[in-house]
Amino acid sequence: MNHQAEHIHAYLSGLMNADDVTAFKKELETDKEFKDYFAICKELYANFSENDWSNLPLEQFKEDVKAYETYYKSNKAKAIKEAITNAESSYFENPPKSNNTFKLFYKVIAVAAILCCVYLGYRLNSTPSNLELYSNYKDWNQLPSLTLRGDNNEYLVNGERFFKAKNYDKAAIAFQDWIKTNPETYNSTVLLYLGISHLEMNNINKAIEAFTKVSDSENLDASKAYWYLALTYLKIDDTEKAIEQLQKMNNNKKAKELLNKLE
């Protein structure tokens, strides 16, 4: 849930202290979009008991907002929205005689409205952080195996095994040992594994060093190195350098997608 939804819930529930109330009212005065958002929530709040309001699944939006967004855009959701619209039209054209039916219908609409209110408030006031983008886009499963072609070098076998077990410190040692014992042999995949191992351990400078060796080469893996360098800069919240690396990837679809979220 975004901070504004949390503040509205606390304010309307009487959970704010005096200082927070003052800050909340000041935000209402200076932020028209927030003021409009608050007005809708306040009106809906009036139709719920304190228990009903407290039991609304607001926290779920913080963890599952992506799932809600995907569902909201799905054909199934569109069909449901259309059905609700048709039901509403039919209701007002032929209103039921029962007052209880009216109350039930109104409460269902109110619940749907407040969920949309919180959801839209989250979407309007929240953009993914660079660290969130890093977590969403990192995928080490795309790396090719170092031992697929029957290379049973002890360092590579152990390094890949440690890497897959997320034992990145031991993986890095194994890859570095391989490089030391094969000083004349260049292997871009080993360097990528080494860079990612350091990245996972937050050894940022060593990660950049490994990825840069690949990006500076004329190897086909240079483009992969740009991608991993971009992820590295996202992790340290350097948007400018992340964009710079992504722009080197020409027409790469994934790079374009991430660029659109950064620019």
- Reported as a pLDDT band with limits 50, 70 and 90, residue 60 is very low
Separation CA 193–CA 178 (nearest Å): 12
- Reported as a pLDDT band with limits 50, 70 and 90, residue 57 is very low
The structural domains of the chain, ordered by start, are 3-124 (no CATH), 134-262 (1.25.40.10)
Residue type, 114: I
Task: Say if residues 259 and 133 touch (Cβ distance below 8 Å).
Answer: no
Task: Say if residues 219 and 237 touch (Cβ distance below 8 Å).
Answer: no
Question: pLDDT for 171-210, tens place per residue?
Answer: 999 999 999 999 888 899 999 999 999 999 999 999 999 9
Phi and psi for 15 in degrees, rounded to 5? -95, -5
Helix axes 188-200, 204-215, angle to 10 degrees: 160
Question: pLDDT for 153-171, tens place per residue?
Answer: 899 999 999 999 999 999 9
Question: pLDDT for 74-103, tens place per residue?
Answer: 565 555 556 555 655 555 556 555 555 555
Task: Say if residues 142 and 168 touch (Cβ distance below 8 Å).
Answer: no
Token representation of residue 171: 């993986």
pLDDT attached to residue 250: 81
* pLDDT at residue 54 tops 60: no
- Reported as a pLDDT band with limits 50, 70 and 90, residue 146 is confident
Rounded to two decimals, the pTM is: 0.54
